[in-house]
Amino acid sequence: MAVGTVLITGGTGYIGSFTSLALLQNGYEVVIVDSLYNSSEVALDRIELICGKRPTFHKADLTNEAELDKIFAAHPTIDSVIHFAALKAVGESSEIPLEYYRVNVGGTVSLLSSMKKNDVSNIVFSSSATVYGDATRFENMIPIPEHCPIGPTNPYGQTKAMVERIIEDFITAQRQNLKKAGKPFEQWNGANLRYFNPCGAHPSGLMGEDPQGVPYNLLPLLGKVATGDRPKLKVFGDDYSSRDGTAIRDYIHVVDLARGHLVALNYLREHKPGVKAWNLGSGRGSTVFEIIKAFSKVVGKDLPYDVEPRRQGDVLDLTANPTRANKELNWKTELTMEKACEDLWRWVSNNPKGYRQEPPAELLDAVKAKTS
Ligand SMILES: NC(=O)c1ccc[n+]([C@@H]2O[C@H](COP(=O)([O-])OP(=O)(O)OC[C@H]3O[C@@H](n4cnc5c(N)ncnc54)[C@H](O)[C@@H]3O)[C@@H](O)[C@H]2O)c1
């Protein structure tokens, strides 16, 4: 019998597909809701190829509460949600902020409202280190602990901070209202997971990030430069007060991150803590130049770049203090940034068209040999 059934919003997307895989591999049943706005149904085939189990899929928009109600009604065993579906491009969020608030905040309100009606009581949310903004504005806040004050510097980060707050207010109200009515309340729980910089791909070379448009993150962009799809990388700012002038980020392998969701969900179900925030990061910061060097090493050639002025809203250093997750969730990163570079290159070099192509036969044979 399954350990439980989990609804995963945005489950065909990058982090959602890896988390769906991790849950299926650990005895959960998975129901995915995704509009396919930034992902492909092929991710479902790859999940099945790797673990022999296929998530149930519903194509639906998160902002459509009536659709969500129908999906919950069709799967009465769902007792938890892992919520990824969102728009996520920091730059774009300053150009079309209303769309970001509509989808990220409005979509979450529909989701929580539907969860309430259907008595689905655990939520694990994809938050981001972006909620901290520039933590160097305080003394002694790098690496960043969860008690660092929130202060996002762009509309995307604002949506994440707002959703964290909405989840906290909603879960707290559910618990208080049920308690007052003399009913069980401890089943209502939430985890706000603040990811640092997710990167990498599945070691099989069969699953990875496949955005529908131009990628926004450093490593996928470097992948495009390595395959010749883009001529050069743009480095935004080499005049930060870091060891080489470029901005520092904490890169976390997507396989470690997916496992972080599994353990956070298990923690909610077991310890029933109410709402808690956890940083998911490695605690190790790398500069942009260090990443270019590490990825160039894996590719076997120096990748070209141009230095441009700093981008508005960017900050010097987002490195996690992951102690709370290490201790409470018994979780820590096991895979390095260098391993993420290797896995990313295996994915990109073998699948330059992402999910719009068949993977090479030898990779398929290797995974089939493992699962048979
Ligand atoms: N990738 C990162 O660097 C990063 C860092 C911190 C936090 N996050 C958060 O993690 C989550 C997942 O990110 P990702 O990198 O996997 O992005 P992604 O774009 O690959 O995944 C998001 C998924 O949500 C779906 N979606 C978007 N709008 C929807 C809607 N209205 N209804 C239903 N589905 C919708 C998309 O089709 C996509 O499959 C997001 O909430 C993102 O903000 C990502």
- The tokens for 60 are 């639906």
CATH number for the domain harbouring residue 88: 3.40.50.720
Q: What letter does residue 144 receive in the DSSP assignment?
A: B
Cα–Cα separations (whole angstroms), residue 115 to 70, 76, 109, 146, 185: 11, 11, 10, 27, 15
Q: How confident is the model at residue 1 (pLDDT cuts 50, 70, 90)?
A: confident
Q: Is the pLDDT at 212 greater than 80, yes or no?
A: no
Terminal-residue alpha carbon distance, the chain: 22
3-state secondary structure 262-287: HHHHHHHHHHCCCEEEEEECCCCCEE
- Evaluate whether 371 touches 52 at the Cβ level (below 8 Å): yes
pLDDT of residue 372: 73
pLDDT of residue 370: 84
Closest CA to 11 of 52, 49, 69, 62: 62
pLDDT of residue 215: 82
Mean predicted confidence (pLDDT) in 322-350: 98
Catalytically active residues are: 156
Q: Report the amino acid identity of residue 286.
A: S
Cα separation, 17 vs 38, in Å, equals: 12
pLDDT of residue 314: 86
Q: What percent of the chain has pLDDT over 90?
A: 94
Mean predicted confidence (pLDDT) in 7-32: 98
User: Which structural domain, as residue segments, surrounds residue 187?
Assistant: 5-371
Of 115-124, 251-260, 308-317, least confident by mean pLDDT is 308-317
* Mean confidence (pLDDT) of the chain: 96
Q: Is the pLDDT at 313 greater than 90, yes or no?
A: no
How many residues make up the chain in this entry? Answer: 372
Q: How confident is the model at residue 126 (pLDDT cuts 50, 70, 90)?
A: very high
pLDDT by residue (tens digit) across 161-178? 999 999 999 999 999 999
How would you list the strands of the sheet with 286-287, edge to edge? Answer: 286-287, 248-249, 317-318
Distance 83 CA to ligand 1 centre (A): 9
Cα separation, 175 vs 204, in Å, equals: 43
Q: What are phi and psi of 174, to 5 degrees?
A: -60, -45
Number of domains within the chain? 1
Cα separation, 218 vs 305, in Å, equals: 12
User: Beta-strand (E) ranges in 62-180?
Assistant: 78-83, 122-128
pLDDT of residue 23: 98
**CB atoms near residue 2 (< 10 Å):** 12
pLDDT by residue (tens digit) across 248-289? 999 999 999 999 999 999 999 999 999 999 999 999 999 999
Pocket test for ligand 1, best of 18, 21, 62, 84 (most atoms within 8 A of CB): 84
Give residue ranges with CB within 6 A of ligand 1.
Answer: 10, 12-16, 34-39, 61-63, 84-86, 88, 103, 107, 126, 128, 195, 197-198, 217
Pocket test for ligand 1, best of 36, 58, 88 (most atoms within 8 A of CB): 88
3-state secondary structure of 151: coil
pLDDT of residue 34: 98
Q: Is the pLDDT at 216 greater than 90, yes or no?
A: no
pLDDT of residue 56: 98
Q: Is the pLDDT at 9 greater than 90, yes or no?
A: yes
- Evaluate whether 109 touches 166 at the Cβ level (below 8 Å): yes
Q: What letter does residue 106 receive in the DSSP assignment?
A: I
Q: Is the pLDDT at 198 greater than 80, yes or no?
A: yes
Q: How confident is the model at residue 371 (pLDDT cuts 50, 70, 90)?
A: confident
Q: How confident is the model at residue 211 (pLDDT cuts 50, 70, 90)?
A: confident
Q: Report the amino acid identity of residue 314.
A: D
Q: How confident is the model at residue 214 (pLDDT cuts 50, 70, 90)?
A: confident
pTM here?
Answer: 0.98
- The tokens for 104 are 């990220």
pLDDT by residue (tens digit) across 30-63? 999 999 999 999 999 999 999 999 999 999 999 9
Q: What are phi and psi of 130, to 5 degrees?
A: -55, -25
